[in-house]
Chain A
Amino acid sequence: MTNPDERCPVPADEVVGRYFLEHRAKLLDIAAFLDRVERAGAPDDDFRIEAMHRAIDQLGVKGHDRARRIQEIFSDPSLEPVDAAPMKGALGAHDPESADD
C-alpha cells in the first residue's frame, strides 16, 4: 500500500527552510515543558513522561516512519477488550500499571 516513491513534492532545497522555524519552536516547547515538570517536582517516573522520553529517543533514529513509531510507543499494546470502561477520556500514553494488562 505504501507509495514506492513516497516523496514530498516540495523541492529538497526548500523543504527544510519552509518548516524549520515552526518545528524548532515546537522542540523548544517540549524542552520548556520538561523543565517545568522538573521545577514543579513532579515524579520523573510518571508513565506519560517516561513514554515521552522513549518517543524523543526515536527522533534520532533514521527512517521515514518516526511518526508511526512514536504513535506506537504511546499506544496500549494489549489485544483483549477491558471488562469495563474506566473513564470516558484518554491520557495520551498507555499506563503499563493499568488494570487492563
Chain B
Amino acid sequence: MYIDPHVHMVSRTTDDYERMALAGCVAITEPAFWAGYDRSSAAGFFDYFRTLTEYEPRRAAQYGIAHHTWLCINPKEAEDLGLAREVMSIIPEFLERPSVLGIGEIGLNKNSRNELRIFEEHLELAGRHDQMILIHTPHLEDKLKGTRLILDALDDAGVDPGRVLVDHVEEHTVELVLDRGYWAGMTLYPETKCTPQRAADIFEVYGQERIWINSAGDWGPSDPLAVPKCQQELRSRGHLEEMIRKVSFENPLKFLSQSGKFRTTSS
C-alpha cells in the first residue's frame, strides 16, 4: 500500500490509474504545474483548476484511488506578473473545494526576480487563507541556488515549517531542507532527479523523519510506478516493512492530514 503525493495525472492515461491501483496506490495528490506550453489567459487556468478538482477525482475514484490537488500558477509561467496575479486572484474561489489541500507547486524555475516575487505573493495568499504549501525546487544546475532562495523566503515569511513540503530534494539539498524544519520530498525520475537506488541511499544517510518519495509522473520521461519500485529497492536491501511503510505511507499521511481534507481509500 502506498500514497503518491506528487503526480500529474492530467498528463497520464486511465491505464496508469489502473496500474497504480494494482501496485497498491490508495491516494494521490496532484499539484498544479506547467502544461508544457504557456497558457494564453487566466481562463485557461480556470479550466485547469476545474479539471483538477472535478474531473480527476472522478477518474481516480474508478480505481479506488483518492485524488487531491494543490493550486497555483507555476514558476515557469510566473515571468508575466500580470497574468500570474490574475491567476492568483481566481484561486481563492477553489480553496473551499473538498479535495484542495493547499497552494502548490510553487517555487522557482530559473531563480529570476519575477519568479521570486510571485513565489512570495503565493506565500502571502497561503497565509491569508491558512493553507498548506507544496514547493517545487528548480532543476539540475539551478536547484541548489533555488533551494537556498526558497528557504530564505520561507523563513522571511514566517510560515510554519511543519506545514510546508519542499519537493525534488537531492543529495546536495536534502539536509538544508530538513535542518530548517521543513518536510522534504524526493522525486523518482529516470534521468533528471533521484533513482530508487539513490533515494534509498538518502533514507539510509539522512533518516526517515519528515521525508517522502513521489513519482512526479507527468508528460515527460517519468514513471507513475516509481514509488512501488523504490519500495521494492528498500525491501531488497533488507529494510524492515515498518520503515518502508513509514516513508511511502505514514509520512505523507501525517503531513497531508494536517489539511483536514486528506483521505485514503484504505481508511
Q: Which residues of A contact B (CB under 8 A)?
A: 1-3, 6-10, 19, 64-65, 67-68, 71-72, 74-79, 81-94, 100
Query: Which 3 residue pairs spanning A and B have beta carbons closest together?
Result: A85-B110, A71-B172, A75-B144
Q: How far is the CA of A82 from the CA of B75 in the complex (A)?
A: 14
Q: Using known A-B contacts A67-B201, A81-B112, A85-B79, determine if residue A9 contacts B143 with beta carbons closer than 8 Å.
A: no
Residue of B nearest to A72 (CB): B172
Residue of A nearest to B173 (CB): A71
Closest Cβ–Cβ distance, residue A9 to chain B (whole Å): 4
- A76 and B149 form a contact (CB under 8 A): no
- Consensus secondary structure, chain B interface: helix
Q: How far is the CA of A71 from the CA of B170 in the complex (A)?
A: 8
Q: How far is the CA of A12 from the CA of B198 in the complex (A)?
A: 18
- A2 and B205 form a contact (CB under 8 A): yes
CB contacts (< 8 Å) of A19 on chain B: these are 197
- A3 and B112 form a contact (CB under 8 A): no
- B142 and A78 form a contact (CB under 8 A): no
- Consensus secondary structure, chain A interface: loop
Q: Using known A-B contacts A81-B116, A83-B112, A84-B79, determine if residue A9 contacts B207 with beta carbons closer than 8 Å.
A: no
- A1 and B110 form a contact (CB under 8 A): no
- A1 and B204 form a contact (CB under 8 A): no
Question: Interface stretch among B39-47, B65-73, B89-97, B133-141?
Answer: B133-141
- B145 and A75 form a contact (CB under 8 A): yes
Q: How far is the CA of A29 from the CA of B27 in the complex (A)?
A: 38
Q: Per-residue 0/1 for B143-161: is the Cβ within 8 Å of any A Cβ (1 yes, 0 no)?
A: 1110011000000000000
CB of B12 closer than 8 Å to a CB of A: no
CB of B105 closer than 8 Å to a CB of A: no
Q: List 14 A–B pairs whose Cβ atoms lie within 8 Å, in order of A's numbering.
A: A1-B175, A10-B238, A64-B205, A67-B171, A75-B144, A76-B111, A76-B144, A76-B145, A77-B145, A79-B149, A81-B116, A85-B115, A88-B109, A93-B141
CB contacts (< 8 Å) of A67 on chain B: these are 171, 198, 201
- A9 and B198 form a contact (CB under 8 A): no
Q: How far is the CA of A2 from the CA of B144 in the complex (A)?
A: 19
CB contacts (< 8 Å) of B206 on chain A: these are 1-3
Q: Using known A-B contacts A9-B237, A71-B172, A84-B79, determine if residue A1 contacts B145 with beta carbons closer than 8 Å.
A: no
Q: How far is the CA of A74 from the CA of B170 in the complex (A)?
A: 13
Interface residues of B in 191-211 (CB under 8 A from A): 197-198, 201, 204-207
CB contacts (< 8 Å) of A91 on chain B: these are 140-141
Q: How far is the CA of A2 from the CA of B110 in the complex (A)?
A: 29
Closest Cβ–Cβ distance, residue A52 to chain B (whole Å): 12
CB of B261 closer than 8 Å to a CB of A: no
| Of B114, B141, B204, the contact of A3 (CB 8 Å cutoff) | B204
CB of B88 closer than 8 Å to a CB of A: no
CB contacts (< 8 Å) of B170 on chain A: these are 71
CB of B125 closer than 8 Å to a CB of A: no
Closest Cβ–Cβ distance, residue B223 to chain A (whole Å): 17
- A92 and B179 form a contact (CB under 8 A): no
- A82 and B144 form a contact (CB under 8 A): no
